A and B are shown apart, each in its own frame.
Chain A
Amino acid sequence: MTTSFDPTFPAATTITGKWNKRAYEVVYLLGEGSNGRVYLVRRGKLLFAMKMGFDSVSLQSEINVLQALRKAEGGKDPFYIEADDFIQEGQNFPYYVMEYVRGLRAADFLQRNGNDWIYPIGSHILRKLSVLHALGWVFGDLKNENVLVSEFGRTELIDYGGVTPLGNAVKQFTEVYDRGYWAAGSRTADEGYDLFSFGVLLLQLTDDQDRIALSQQMIPQNRDVGYLLEIVRTSPLCGNVAPFLEKVFLGKYSSVKEAEGEWKACLFQAPTKQTAVLTTLPAVRVPWLTAVFAVSLALLSFTLYLTFQ
């Protein structure tokens, strides 16, 4: 199998499409994923992101998904712009152009802006997933690196290389987010698969002991749902979404729509004052205060339970 040489295009390279003839100028390389490189490019005064694929089949398969998504969303707020080929010295470089989102990876965003943002970010992701599912696809490779968050928690899923038709084998995944890795089910693309990754992502983003990453040093026999549930129970930041996460890991939601509903319900139960305290707490680090807070939180949830049951 031959791998063709994949050059990195330097700044100021002009990339003109073979079919649509539109010209873009490379500003700089934004990053590199498993399927290709993403550049910041300029057309006139407008900035875009351009993905050059390492492989034309997998790039085209991403384009197919993005085009279908754009069609489904009725053209408003288009993320995907166009696809074309760039020819240089006889070599063909397929690419597509998308909106440039000036954002941060989910983990960095939370670190900078506080963990409370997990609620809108989670809602955004769930909404994106349910649109995909309605079109008959599963996202597959949901992970921190593929979630880009910009102002007000506006969230885009990037890298559609793992998107798989419902019922097929998941095309691309990352170990710790994979349901099979946790011996919690198959690698068949179904709605539960994405939800599971979503659950792991939430733990990954909120667990201060980094136990998701640590699982890679464990032997496979010890990786199971029990381990995840233990994190849910002991991670202080899971708080009011703990019941949601438990149901996710136990596969109790039949669709993302259903999960989305309960996710929102969790949020509206959120004791707003306390969460505000919670996010500033780690800086103070007074152990007894944490304990007292835990007790008060427990009391509060008990009261809420009594009120609403």
Chain B
Amino acid sequence: MLKQIILITDGCSNEGVSPVVAAAQAQLEGVIVNVIGIVNEGELGDRGAAEIEAIARAGGGISRMVSPRRLAQTVQMMTHKTVMHTIRGMVNQQLGQVLKETGNSHSIKPTTLEELPLFQRAQVVKVIENLSETAALQIALLVDASTSMRPKLQAVEDAIRDLMLSFQARKGLSEIAVFHFPGSPQPSGVIEMDTCWTKDLAKIANLFYKLNMKGTTPTGPALFRLLQFMTHGELNQEEHRVAAYSREPYDAFPVNRKDGMLSDYVV
């Protein structure tokens, strides 16, 4: 199973543990972290740009800064590149192993794909391509939903739906989960699940339907929590239940809402 996080943000983290640390931890546990800085002209600045790059480097992934219009394309490209890169790493490792075992001990150095003769390379690439099409893949999208991101959330949602379309064409198991942060303060949650692992987003009318009005950007804590979910299978239990059940009261009793959150909904 290949696991990736795509973090979509437009600014610097300003609360809790450093997101670079969280990303490094993710890579350690086999989850690759890619980062997209979604910006209109000139926003973000040097500090934000540097942080985005650092998170991706620590997370073994790629970072890009794009305008909302190019978001869908960028998400596609990142996913594809990361999958290819991971599989290729695995194949290279196997290759080194195989060639060591077949006793080419006096060969100059362990062989990587680039050093293979052309004919053999052609065969290996066929294997890599086949694996990238059939390998099981889970991608969690972690979306910064702080105030400045609000106008861009529609573009984010469109990009996620577009990615789903590509996933449905893949042969291997392909699932997406979507989270945003900061989560609702009650019960206190760092991140909020918008949809659990799914192969079909069509039924979900509106992805980001409840947003916290808090202005902070706890990117690091959010990454950590998501990592916990991806490696241990669950979020904080309570939070999970709220995410699963709170949709109904939201639709039925919009009066109960204050500032976009459920003020009196207790699990």
Contact = CB atoms under 8 A, between A and B. Distances in A.
B122 interface: yes
Interface in A156-212: 165, 167-172, 175, 180-181, 186-189
Nearest to B60: A1
Nearest to A188: B169
Contact of B69 (A165, A167, A168, A216): A216
A94 B80 CA distance: 21
B251 interface: no
Interface in B149-185: 154, 158, 161-162, 165-171
A220 B72 CA distance: 11
Nearest to B85: A1
A168 B171 contact: yes
A106 to B, nearest CB: 22
Interface string A137-158: 0000000000000000000000
Contacts of B88: 57
A188 B118 CA distance: 30
A125 interface: no
Nearest to A169: B169
B51 interface: no
Contacts, number: 74
Nearest to B125: A60
A171 B125 contact: no
A67 interface: yes
Given A63-B122, A64-B126, A180-B162, A57 B169 contact: no
A268 interface: no
A288 interface: no
A84 B117 CA distance: 9
A106 B171 CA distance: 34
A56 B114 contact: yes
Interface residues of B, number: 35
A56 B128 CA distance: 12
Main secondary structure of the interface of A (DSSP, over half): mixed
Interface in A204-226: 216, 219-220
B204 to A, nearest CB: 15
B240 interface: no
Interface in B64-100: 69, 72-73, 80-82, 84-85, 88
Nearest to B72: A175
Main secondary structure of the interface of B (DSSP, over half): helix
A216 B128 CA distance: 34
Given A1-B60, A1-B62, A84-B118, A169 B125 contact: no
Nearest to A221: B158
Contact of A169 (B121, B154, B158, B166): B166
B130 to A, nearest CB: 8
A308 interface: no
A172 B88 CA distance: 18
Given A171-B80, A175-B72, A187 B168 contact: yes
A180 B167 CA distance: 12
Contacts of A60: 121-122, 125
Contact of B81 (A1, A170, A216): A1
Contacts of B85: 1
A111 interface: no
A233 to B, nearest CB: 27
Given A60-B121, A92-B114, 14 more contacts: A1-B85, A19-B118, A56-B114, A57-B128, A64-B126, A84-B118, A85-B118, A92-B115, A168-B169, A169-B166, A169-B171, A180-B165, A187-B168, A216-B69
26 contacts: A1-B60, A1-B62, A1-B82, A1-B85, A19-B118, A56-B113, A57-B113, A60-B122, A61-B125, A64-B126, A83-B118, A92-B114, A165-B133, A168-B169, A168-B170, A169-B133, A169-B170, A170-B166, A172-B80, A175-B73, A180-B162, A181-B162, A187-B166, A187-B168, A187-B169, A188-B169
Interface of A: 1, 19, 55-58, 60-61, 63-64, 67, 83-85, 92, 94, 165, 167-172, 175, 180-181, 186-189, 216, 219-220
